[in-house]
Amino acid sequence: MTKSEELNISIGREQSGKRLDTALAGITRLSRSRIQQLLRNGHIEYTQPGGKPSDEPLQASRKVLEGDRFRITLPPSQPLSLEPEDIPLDILYEDEHLIIINKPAGMVVHPSHGHERGTLVHALLHHCPDLPGINGIERPGIVHRLDKDTSGSLVVAKTETAHIGLSALFASHELTRQYLAWCRGAPRWKNRRIELPIARHPQHRQKMAVHPQGKEAVTDAEVEYFLGPFSQLRLTLHTGRTHQIRVHLAHERLPILGDPVYARNYHPGHDIPEPSRSMIASLRRQALHAELIAFCHPVTGKQVHITAPLPDDLQALSEALHRNYG
């Protein structure tokens, strides 16, 4: 973000009586620490009737009342110390506010230990010179993630205003996300809502697991095709827990083909005909694809409905299974 953005906030009944930092954080989806930082730097003003700013000094602990109005100025972001990389992106949608990428399997979203280069963040820094600031630091406004080896649609904010709006859509579940998965097993149901809480696995800290003390996790599952000993499912996420679909389907005894973490080693035998046997054996990642994302644009108000085409490996797998079992 190379120029300032402005937010005009009116306090409603739900926020009346709360601390200023708490109320503004709840309305804008900025963090309380970010609000406090903006207050300290004089970027939040109380607006008098008629729109004139007040000279009244503002404290984070100030109690707000219904009808109070505030103007928040989001200053230009400070540069992030990452080198942009000219990595090709499969762009499904882009405007001045946001961009939707068809992420390939194998690409990590954020830099981390062992993945200091070649991430989606590095590619976005090259493609989008103007990126939103999160807590005042310039970095791509990624509001959700895909696992490294899950392909498909991923939305990124290009302005802080869009980042706030998208974060609110995710928090209120007003955004549709649908995935396709190819699984081992054929359920006895055609449609099922899976409501099982998810937490960190108690023994294996790199894994997640269904756990009664976990966070709420809701997935709608629909069988699109019964394919002999396999099935093709469409999954709609209502929450966004780590590895949610993979954990839920494994718990339902429908492990995703190729999943190295939640599916036991599976080597298709000679009872599986060609070409399905070869396609399954050649998988190097979970057969999971974020196909569809749809939402009301947080800035323009227009409906956005994007479908990510299948990558070659999953297209080949699907065709092979349908040829043998369709």
- Domain residue extents for the chain: 5-74, 91-171, 175-325
User: SS3 helix, strand, coil % of the chain, rounded to 5?
Assistant: 20, 30, 50
Q: Same fold for the domain at 5-74 and the one at 91-171?
A: no
Yes or no: say if 181 and 137 are a contact pair by the CB < 8 Å rule. Answer: no
- Band of pLDDT at residue 139, cut at 50, 70 and 90: low
Q: What is the mean pLDDT of residues 285-294?
A: 98
- Band of pLDDT at residue 113, cut at 50, 70 and 90: low
pLDDT, tens digit, 9 for 90 and up, residues 239-269: 999 999 999 999 999 999 999 999 988 889 9
CA distance 253 to 55: 63
Residue 216 has pLDDT above 80, yes or no: yes
Q: Please give the model's pTM, rounded to 2 decimal places.
A: 0.76
User: Which pLDDT score is estimated for 136?
Assistant: 46
Residue 80 has pLDDT above 60, yes or no: no
Contacts of residue 209, defined as CB under 8 A and 6 or more positions apart, other chains included, come to: 198, 199, 200, 201, 202, 247
User: Which pLDDT score is estimated for 77?
Assistant: 61
User: Which pLDDT score is estimated for 34?
Assistant: 84
- Band of pLDDT at residue 47, cut at 50, 70 and 90: confident
Q: Which of 322, 308, 314 has its CA nearest to residue 256?
A: 314
Domain 175-325, architecture per CATH: 2-Layer Sandwich (3.30)
Yes or no: say if 232 and 178 are a contact pair by the CB < 8 Å rule. Answer: no
Active site positions, annotated: 147
Yes or no: say if 288 and 179 are a contact pair by the CB < 8 Å rule. Answer: yes
- Band of pLDDT at residue 143, cut at 50, 70 and 90: confident
- Band of pLDDT at residue 304, cut at 50, 70 and 90: very high
Q: Over pLDDT 90: what percentage of the chain? A: 59
Write out the DSSP string of 253-278. Answer: T-PBTT-TTTS------TTSPTTHHH
Task: Return the CATH number of the domain spanning residue range 91-171.
Answer: 3.30.2350.10
Instruction: For 5-74, give the CATH class.
Output: alpha beta
